[in-house]
Amino acid sequence: MPFFDLESRPALRPVPGVTLRAVWGERMLMSFLDLEPNAEIPTHSHPHEQVGVGLSGVFALTIGEETRHIRPGDPYCIPSGVPHRAVALAEGARALDVFSPPREDYQKETP
């Protein structure tokens, strides 16, 4: 399928205060992530390479031992296997993450 209606995609809620909608092809997956104010994605890692960009609001992103505030337009890259976490600031935030290869867990949860 070459086009998607993002709002009609099923919403996943991996942790409280976080909603994501994913679309994918054979070798990559895009995840639009909405973080409510002060929502936290706990420290985790995965074998997928992840690149992303802030779309709205601000969130603190920790990759390994380094933390930065991600604002709209700020890109980031999380290498495979590196621990990372994110915490939205008071206004909440939206980000776009791209994973390669596609995350199987997101695919399984999205029909």
> In the chain, where are the structural domains located?
6-109
| Residue range 53-98, pLDDT digits in tens | 999 999 999 999 999 999 999 999 999 999 999 999 999 999 999 9
- The angle subtended at Cα 25 by Cα 23 and Cα 29, nearest 5°, is 50
Question: Has this prediction a pTM greater than 0.85?
Answer: yes
Superfamily of the domain at 6-109: Jelly Rolls (2.60.120.10)
pLDDT number for residue 15: 96
Answer whether 27's CB lies under 8 Å from 38's CB.
no
